Amino acid sequence: MHALLELDCIPSGMELFPAANEDQWTLIKKVIDECDYYLVICGGRYGSLGPHGYSYTEMEYRYALESGKPVIAFLHKDPQQLPVGRCEQTDEGRNRLKVFRDFIQQKMCKFWDSPADLGSVVSRSFVRLTKTNPAVGWVRADQITDTLVAAEVLKLRKNIEDLESKLREARLSAPIGSERLSQGSDLFNVEYKFESVDQKSQGWTWTLDFDVSWNHVFYDIGPLMIDEATESELRQGLNKMVRERSRAARSKEERLTGHKSIRNFEISEHDLQTIKIQLRALGLIAKSEKARSVKDPYTYWTLTPYGDQVLTTLRAIPKEDETDEMDEAVEQETAREG
């Protein structure tokens, strides 16, 4: 006991426990379950028999083995040299002790021949046992909460890092399900109106339509939202896009022959709202969440991180060896729109 206490252990010998309401064997198993190691000291006595035909000491030892506890036994070198009062008095008792000693020696065991020698052997052997089989041990009650909280904080921090990583990935990729939406080089039919003056100086108002790809729509109005853009600024940007992108289609309109002062291009309200919703559904734009004055009645739109990435891909100037390929692709798409 003294040797174990010097090693900062808490011995739990059965002789230290008072009688309890529980039956003796139930209490013994509970104590063994709560311990990190099991040490058995075998002298000259086998011990009183339990309900299973073994002594309580052997029952403890076998239970510790079955429970997977690290065990070590300390056997007296020569039990016959012990005083008569410390030895088995019957042949049956001595035979049971011999069988038990033989069983113990199948596992790790050490030998001793005096109390001082036992303490020394226990100290050396237990230090080695704890190194080869480290256990949790015991902590002060006031440290348990801090330890559990620290472990929980680390776990939550790891969860936060994982979620933040997934959020960053999500922000730089298209929304789930957007692959089913019209996008990229898919064409969208845009309706618009404008004014002109014929050769007789008579004013006309026209309503026409043309096809444009979603890439070209975003190519034209995306830069407006690098910082932020109001709905009015988006409308102006789309009106400008209509004027420039519809040139090829207008040039084929025979009714416009001889007309001049072509001006006041305006995209239809329906198509403007459709474009805005489509770009939002594709994860390219979003309402700005920047705090503003309560007196500011406008809605502001901005690029999402994914939208910024797509716009950069569309408008960044490639190396010269890649320019030809990109120009060819743009020309093919323009021809398709025409």
Does 16 share its domain with 115?
A: yes
CA 216 to chain centroid, in Å, comes to: 38
Q: Is 192 helix (H, G, I), strand (E, B) or coil?
A: strand
Does 94 share its domain with 236?
A: no
DSSP string, 300-332: EEEE-HHHHHHHHHHHSPPPHHHHHHHHHHHHH
Q: Who wins on pLDDT, 328 or 336?
A: 328
Q: Tell me: pLDDT of 43 over 80.
A: yes
Residue type, 65: L
In a domain, 154, yes or no: no
In a domain, 191, yes or no: yes
Does 122 share its domain with 192?
A: no
> What is the overall mean pLDDT for the chain?
86
Does 129 share its domain with 256?
A: no
Confidence label for 322 from pLDDT (cuts 50, 70 and 90): low
DSSP 318: P
In a domain, 166, yes or no: no
- 131 token code pair: 């190194």
CB 55 within 8 A of CB 46: yes
- 237 token code pair: 């940007």
Q: How many domains does the chain have?
A: 2
- Overall average pLDDT of the 310-322 stretch: 85
Beta strands across the sheet bearing 260-267: 203-213, 187-197, 260-267
Domain end position, chosen among 123, 141, 159: 141
Burial of 114 (0-12, 13-18, 19+ CB in 10 A): exposed
Query: What angle in degrees, to the nearest 10, is found between the helix axes of 24-34 and 56-66?
Result: 40
The percentage of residues in the chain with a pLDDT greater than 70, rounded to a whole number, is: 90
Q: Tell me: pLDDT of 18 over 90.
A: no
pTM confidence score:
0.50
pLDDT in tens, 161-192: 888 887 777 677 888 889 999 999 999 999 99
Q: Which structural domain range is residue 12 located in?
A: 2-141
Number of Cβ within a 10 Å radius of residue 120: 13
Q: How far apart are CA 220 and CA 275, in angstroms?
A: 12
Domain end position, chosen among 85, 115, 141: 141
Q: How far apart are CA 213 and CA 319, in angstroms?
A: 24
